[in-house]
Amino acid sequence: MGIDKQSDIAANIQIGPTDQGMVRIYIEAEGGIELPLDFDPEEADEIAEELRTAAEAARSMGSKPAPKKKR
């Protein structure tokens, strides 16, 4: 699966500071998967900028219809 492909996997995400001064992105997915990801504040800022850039790109794509499958 690539980053630009749809997925049927459901997950919950939480974001917040840790008691150690890090920023945690906590992902909980189906099947009991728990993934705590800790970043220093500078890395978190970079991730936030990447999210903003991706959101702008997605917004500019609009709601294009899915390509037709070849038979």
Are 60 and 50 contacting, i.e. CB atoms less than 8 angstroms apart?
no
pLDDT of residue 44: 98
Rounded to whole angstroms, how far apart are CA atoms 67 and 42?
39
Spell out the domain ranges in the chain: 11-59
Beta pairing, strands 33-39 & 11-17: unpaired
For residue range 3-21, what is the model confidence (pLDDT) as tens digits? 778 778 889 999 999 999 9
CB atoms within 10 A of CB 23: 19
**Cα–Cα–Cα angle for 15, 16, 18, rounded to 5 degrees:** 130
For residue range 19-67, what is the model confidence (pLDDT) as tens digits? 999 999 999 999 899 999 999 999 999 999 999 999 999 999 886 655 6
